[in-house]
Structure 1
Amino acid sequence: MRLTRWLLAVWIGGVLVLLPAESLASHRPDHLELSARAAAVIDVQSGRILYEKKAGQQMRIASLTKIMTAIVAIENSDLTEKVKVKPGAVGVEGSSIYLKPGEEIPLEHLLYGLMLRSGNDAAVAIAEHVGGSVEGFVYKMNEKAEYLGLRNTHFQNPHGLDAKEHYSSAEDLARLTAYALKNPEFRKIVSTQVKTVPWPGEEWHRKWYNKNKMLRLYPGGDGVKTGFTKLSRRTLVSSATREGRQIATVTLNAPNDWEDSMRLLEYGFRHFQRVRLVKKGEEFSSGLKGRAPLEIVASRSFTYPLTEEERDRVEVRPMITYPLKKAKVSGIRVGTARIFVEGKPVGSIPLITRGESEETVWGDWFTVLASIYEQEG
């Protein structure tokens, strides 16, 4: 691998230098033809924002709210639990799955109704069950937003109907989506095109078709959520997977949201490729004079989405923080390798020891010989 050769060849002042760094943003397009007022593209695995347009602007988000509703419910409940529908969940304004008061329905089914049909009644039923009340659940939503570092996000309800202090941003929604898509249950729900579930008290079943056309329009489409209110206009979070790599897009106030999303997904897949920057077991120099007692190696691999131009603007900076003379066996963490792209930190990996020091080996032999001598004596 070309990077490995550089690691061995260019060691200057404790820093492995490939090429001078430039701004990461310099390789992003100044403009993509989008109808969206704000947009963002994210690589789901790494969390790297690949494209942004007014991505930090606080905006109304409509039913994209339900991404947070779903992940909070999944993480805080058993999906097999039966939810008894309270009167407050019946007849909520907007999209509905037509819940009836007193109806008992598995939480899992409510989540499908929430994400496929955008049921506002499902959102309230989930909130009352998981949070004890709508207010209690919304507290959990905002708590989660704070935990995830979503600084331009605040919720007032679990469904996304317009409210003064209910907003998010394209970047925050991208990061929330990347987080949620790592949950297998969430991922399964949002990628489902049709779901059929029993309808208590009726002779037929509920059959829910996903409103998200991206599942059918875009090859590899596997999520996530549509939204609309009169004030927010059309909002959409889409995701797709190609050759094992998943990308998600966010468009806010986008009259042509389907076209915008397809254009953004294509941009992400075409202009960025996942590159392995460090290989598990790859050896690093200690920077010390003479031979270190043990090899210092990467504890895991590190891959990251890069443009073609960025591949030659990578630095890997190892920093040893543990006295190497004390590390006499394999697996001791002795430092960290920080990875930079165009001068900006993008990740880090632990550095560990591999092998055994001569002192340890000879010590083991002396122990064995002493044991044999004692037995013969």
Structure 2
Amino acid sequence: MYFKKLQRITVIGLLAVLVAGTSLGPAVSANPGPLHTNAKASALIDVESGRLLYSNNGDTSMRIASLTKIMTAIVAIDHGKLTDMVKTSKRAVGKEGSSIYLQLGEEMSLLNMLYGLMLRSGNDAATAIAEHVGGSEEGFVHLMNEKAAFLGLKHTQFKNPHGLDEEGHYSSANDLAKLTAYALKNDVFAEIVSTREKKVPNPHDKWAYSYTNKNKMLSMYEGADGVKTGYTKKALRCLVSSATRQGQQLAAVTINDRDDWLDHRKMLDWGFGNYPLHEIAAKGQLIAGYPLTVGQSFKYPLTEQESHDIRSRLVLYDANTLRYSLGERGLLEWYMKNDRIGAVPVYDVASGRLKLPTASPKAQQTLVDFKMAVKHDERGRLAGTISKIFDALFKY
């Protein structure tokens, strides 16, 4: 890449000198106190920025039980169609462990099967989803490992879509934190894992299936909105939780933790208390001294001390580059001491790029499919209610 102009701008407080109207906001703690859990491995991540706020034994590969299903769900959402009807095979019906009790040949929408996967941890649902989306369980596992490589999860390898103990099937606390931060940015995934109870059409009877979420954090912790429980005899208790407070979402991971509910409350409290999320730059803000504007918002969790260590650098592109021809004028990079923590594109003040949607076409289509699947269920419930009324009227 060629630069027409490279200029370092030292910013004091980041406020008046570079980005007009930016405020770091109040910080809470200058020096975070120690954090201890009972877990063999643990991690805490800020979802917006992807910054790991805490890690203990975080890069050690371990058995992860049903935390596997976080990857199963996001791969199914990314590669599948939520309105598709998934047919239950003999292999899925016979899967051991936790189950939503699918029957051989039973059909359920992919969306509803994902609710059964994430709320009730159904291993039968995991297998049926894998066979439908991947063509086979093995094909789907290939997609899972492909996604892990794409996300840079270097201490992760999948052998199955459900998380039952198997040699060579593992992940780490840090990798699971990164995976969860990625998954929670998907609106459909976030909606599913935050649901406390879901009614699903029952093809065998007039009453609906009712899936109650096993994640107790949803009722135990203010702002909790996910994610997944897990347990096997070898992995022991595993948990990924998330919570949102004052616009900041954190995700906590523990592996092999006998007191995970308490530890997750401590971890989330520690994160919110010590690393509040700061809006360092907002989309559309002007860059002082230049006819340029910030192309997207940039937020980052910082302690009080760290908020004084942020510096920026403006890099302007050569007019002959492809990025310039596509409307980008440069990058606004942010550093904490000497480590780059993020970057956002900059555009001309009147650039049409500022009006483009942030969601990808695939993400937009997934939301459309989600709404269609929900409406289909609502129509089915209405028809079922009408049928019950007629049955009652003509019973005698």
Question: TM-score range, shorter-chain basis?
Answer: 0.7 to 0.9
> What is residue 386 of structure 2 aligned with on the other side?
none
| Aligned equivalents of 1:129, 1:300: Cα separation in 2 | 37
Matches within 5 A, 1:1-377: 2-7=13-18, 29=33, 31-279=34-282, 280-285=284-289, 295-322=291-318, 333-354=328-349
Counterpart CA distance in 2 for 1:276 and 1:212 is 31
Give how far 1:338 is off. 1.2
Structure 1, unaligned stretches of length 5 or more? 9-25, 286-293, 357-377
TM-score, normalised relative to structure 2: 0.78
Q: Which runs of 5+ in 2 are unaligned?
A: 1-11, 20-29, 352-396
CA distance in 2, matches of 1:201, 1:332: 56
Secondary structure of the equivalent of 1:318? strand
Is contact 2:119-2:193 (8 Å) kept? yes
Residue 329 of structure 2 aligns with an amino acid whose one-letter code is V
The one-letter amino acid of 1:235's match is C
Mapped partners of 1:297, 1:108: distance in 2: 40
Q: Compared with structure 1, are the counterparts of its residues 300 and 69 closer, same or farther at alpha carbon in structure 2 (3 Å cutoff)? A: closer
The 3 A distance-change label for structure 1 pair 299 and 196 is closer
User: Percent identity of the aligned residues?
Assistant: 50
Contact 1:28/1:51, CA 8 A, preserved across alignment: no
Post-superposition offset of 1:5: 3.2
C-alpha displacement at 1:4, in angstroms?
2.0
CA separation in 2, counterparts of 1:208 and 1:61? 23
Residues 195, 298 of structure 1: CA spacing in aligned structure 2 closer, same or farther, 3 A cutoff? Answer: closer
Cα distance in 2, alignment partners of residues 28 and 126 from structure 1: 43
SS at structure 1 position matched to 2:265: helix
AA partner of residue 197 (structure 1): V
Structure 2 match to 1:288: none
Cα distance in 2 between the residues matched to 1:334 and 1:125? 48
CA distance in 2, matches of 1:77, 1:56: 30
Instruction: Check the 8 A contact 1:43/1:247 in 2, yes or no.
Output: yes
Q: Determine if contact 1:221/1:240 at 8 Å carries over to the other structure.
A: yes
Q: Secondary structure at the match of 1:199?
A: coil
CA-CA distance at 1:55 after TM superposition: 0.9
Residue 355 (structure 1) shift: 7.9
Question: Which residue does the alignment assign to 2:27?
Answer: none
Offset at residue 336 of structure 1 (A): 1.8
- CA shift for structure 1 position 34: 0.6
Q: CA RMSD in A?
A: 2.4
Residue 283 of structure 1: how far off its partner (Å): 2.1
Letter in 2 for 1:36: A
Distance 1:323 1:127, change over 3 A: closer
More relative contact order in 1 or in 2 (CA 8 Å, sep 6+)?
A: 2
Q: In 1, are the aligned partners of 2:118 and 2:228 still within 8 Å (CA)?
A: yes
2: CA distance between counterparts of 1:217 and 1:32?
20
For residues 302 and 204 of structure 1, what CA distance do their matches in structure 2 show?
Answer: 48
Q: Aligned pair in 2 of structure 1 residues 137, 241: CA closer, same or farther (>3 Å)?
A: same
Cα distance in 2 for residues equivalent to 1:301 and 1:191: 25
CA distance 1:282–1:199, shift in 2 (3 Å): same
Give the superposition deviation at 1:33: 2.2
The higher radius of gyration belongs to 1
Cα distance in 2 for residues equivalent to 1:227 and 1:332: 46
